[in-house]
């Protein structure tokens, strides 16, 4: 299968993040993408560069002022005399105003970010745009008739919403792929998110829409990031009522529990009868992932790939998380290999 990869990802290297109250080296590193690239190439998939898809396509799922903010955030940070990486330090919690976007960089950051683990550096915009273009290029390849394509997106995307970023995500690559398929003639697209974490951004983007089914299997937000979205009682609203399905599993869940939830997700997808499938492919469900708590083993990733392929749909697989760097390549290649077979 074609695997869309851009070397521009390496321009985003966040350095440090605030993780559970500790300033630690970022888990979301350039090395992740390079290990996946090597594994995917070794498995015989064809690496291709993303196309120069116009930036205006971002506005299919993102707010224009938000996109403008991301593009210019690092320059503004520097022009206001700040040093180092761009990290927010205050957020509009309950009781504070959310209808105003303050003019200064600190207030703007609190307005658009929802955590302090997603630094912006000089090259973040270039990398995020390349990842978005990679996802849309994979969607274009599938629109043109290929059964499936993979986008090696870095930074990941599923936590980024219409006008907020966080969770190592800036632009929502999977949502952009789904919108691209819809704009290309699909009537309905299912988006299945198998990353360990709830795809809160994707859920928000499609919350009131009935042309996208969003299904997410993830660690229970009672204890797992992103904590404030991803509960089973969230089912969409308006025209989107019933088009969101959250399947939270307790931290510590293994393949037995996971397989049941995956089958529930696939059954909901079949009932929706989509024209195409987008998969938010995180492999942070792996047993030795440093920031996650499921217990999947390497042998389970081909089972996930085969199950997804069994839907028989044109499919775009979009890379999300996965922080057990030594095994990330083999786990991703395991999914893709089984899918292609």
Cβ-based nearer residue to Zn ion, 154 or 197: 197
Nearest-angstrom CA–CA distance, 259 and 265 = 10
Q: How many other C-beta atoms are found inside a 10 Å radius of the C-beta of residue 228?
A: 10
Choose which of 9, 37, 197, 198 interacts with Zn ion (CB under 5 A). Answer: 197
Provide, rounded to whole angstroms, the least separation between the CB of residue 167 and Zn ion. Answer: 7
Cβ-based nearer residue to Zn ion, 274 or 321: 321
Provide, rounded to whole angstroms, the least separation between the CB of residue 224 and Zn ion. Answer: 9
Choose which of 170, 196, 207, 286 interacts with Zn ion (CB under 5 A). Answer: 196
- What is the x/- site pattern for Zn ion, positions 154-193, by CB under 5 A? ----------------------------------------
Provide, rounded to whole angstroms, the least separation between the CB of residue 232 and Zn ion. Answer: 19
Which one of 16-24, 61-69, 247-255, 277-285 is the stretch in contact with Zn ion (CB under 5 A)?
277-285
Cβ-based nearer residue to Zn ion, 31 or 68: 31
| Residue 294 binds Zn ion (CB under 5 A) | no
Provide, rounded to whole angstroms, the least separation between the CB of residue 320 and Zn ion. Answer: 6
**Torsion angle of the four alpha carbons 229, 334, 7, 125, in this order, in degrees rounded to the nearest 10:** 0
- What is the x/- site pattern for Zn ion, positions 226-265, by CB under 5 A? ----------------------------------------
Nearest-angstrom CA–CA distance, 279 and 146 = 16
Choose which of 115, 284, 289, 327 interacts with Zn ion (CB under 5 A). Answer: 284
Contacts made by residues 286-289, CB under 8 angstroms, sequence distance 24+: 286/322, 286/324, 286/327, 286/328, 286/331, 288/324, 288/327, 289/196, 289/322, 289/323, 289/324
| Residue 321 binds Zn ion (CB under 5 A) | yes
Cβ-based nearer residue to Zn ion, 225 or 339: 225
Nearest-angstrom CA–CA distance, 22 and 107 = 23
User: Is omega for the bond preceding 155 within 30 degrees of 0, making it cis?
Assistant: yes
Provide, rounded to whole angstroms, the least separation between the CB of residue 325 and Zn ion. Answer: 14
HSE-up (13 A, CA, CB side) for residue 64: 1
| Residue 282 binds Zn ion (CB under 5 A) | yes
Separation in Å, CA 239 to CA 210, 214, 236 = 6, 13, 8
Q: Which residue is nearest to Zn ion (CB)?
A: 321
Nearest-angstrom CA–CA distance, 67 and 124 = 12
What is the DSSP code (8-state) at residue 191? E
Which one of 25-33, 202-210, 276-284, 330-338 is the stretch in contact with Zn ion (CB under 5 A)?
276-284
| Residue 32 binds Zn ion (CB under 5 A) | no
| Three-state secondary structure call for residue 142 | helix
Catalytic residue at 300? Answer: no
What's the distance, CA 126 to chain centroid?
Answer: 17
Cβ-based nearer residue to Zn ion, 77 or 196: 196
Instruction: Give the gyration radius of the chain's Cα atoms.
Output: 18
Cβ-based nearer residue to Zn ion, 154 or 209: 154
Choose which of 195, 204, 220, 289 interacts with Zn ion (CB under 5 A). Answer: 195
Catalytic-labelled residue, pool 159, 198, 218, 300: 159
Angle at the Cα of 216 from the Cα atoms of 329 and 20, rounded to 5 degrees: 70
DSSP string over 226-268: T-SS--TT----GGGTT-EEEEEE-TT--HHHHHHHHHHHHHH
Nearest-angstrom CA–CA distance, 335 and 325 = 16
Cβ-based nearer residue to Zn ion, 24 or 237: 24
**Known catalytic residues?**
159
Interacting residues toward Zn ion by CB under 5 A: 195-197, 282, 284, 321
């Amino acid at each position: 299968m074609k695997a869309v990869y851009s070397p521009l990802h390496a321009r985003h290297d966040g350095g440090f993040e605030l993780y559970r109250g500790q300033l630690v080296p970022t888990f979301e590193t350039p090395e992740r993408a390079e290990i996946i690239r090597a594994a995917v190439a070794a498995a015989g998939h064809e690496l291709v560069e993303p196309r120069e898809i116009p930036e205006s396509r971002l506005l299919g799922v993102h707010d224009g002022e938000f996109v403008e903010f991301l593009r210019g955030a690092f320059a503004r940070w520097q022009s206001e005399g700040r040093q180092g990486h761009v990290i927010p330090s205050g957020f509009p919690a309950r009781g504070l105003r959310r209808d105003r976007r303050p003019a200064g960089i600190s207030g703007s950051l609190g307005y658009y970010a929802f955590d302090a683990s997603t630094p912006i550096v000089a090259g973040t915009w270039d990398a995020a745009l390349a990842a978005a273009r990679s996802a849309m290029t994979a969607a274009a390849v599938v629109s043109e008739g290929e059964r499936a394509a993979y986008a090696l997106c870095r930074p990941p995307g599923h936590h980024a919403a219409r006008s907020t970023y966080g969770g190592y995500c800036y632009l929502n690559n999977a949502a952009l792929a789904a919108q691209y398929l819809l704009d290309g003639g699909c009537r309905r697209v299912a988006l299945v998110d198998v990353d360990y974490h709830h795809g809160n951004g994707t859920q928000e983007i499609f919350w009131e829409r009935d042309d996208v089914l969003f299904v997410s299997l993830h660690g229970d937000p009672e204890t797992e990031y992103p904590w404030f979205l991803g509960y089973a009682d969230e089912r969409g609203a308006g025209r989107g009522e019933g088009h969101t399905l959250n399947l939270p599993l307790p931290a510590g869940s293994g393949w037995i529990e996971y397989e049941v939830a995956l089958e529930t997700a696939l059954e909901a997808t079949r009932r929706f009868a989509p024209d195409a499938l987008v998969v938010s492919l995180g492999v942070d469900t792996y047993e030795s992932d440093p920031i996650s708590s499921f217990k999947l083993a390497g042998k389970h990733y081909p089972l996930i790939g085969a199950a997804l392929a069994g839907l028989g749909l044109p499919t775009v697989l979009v890379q999300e998380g996965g922080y057990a760097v030594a095994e990330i390549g083999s786990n991703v290649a395991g999914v893709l290999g089984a899918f292609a077979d």
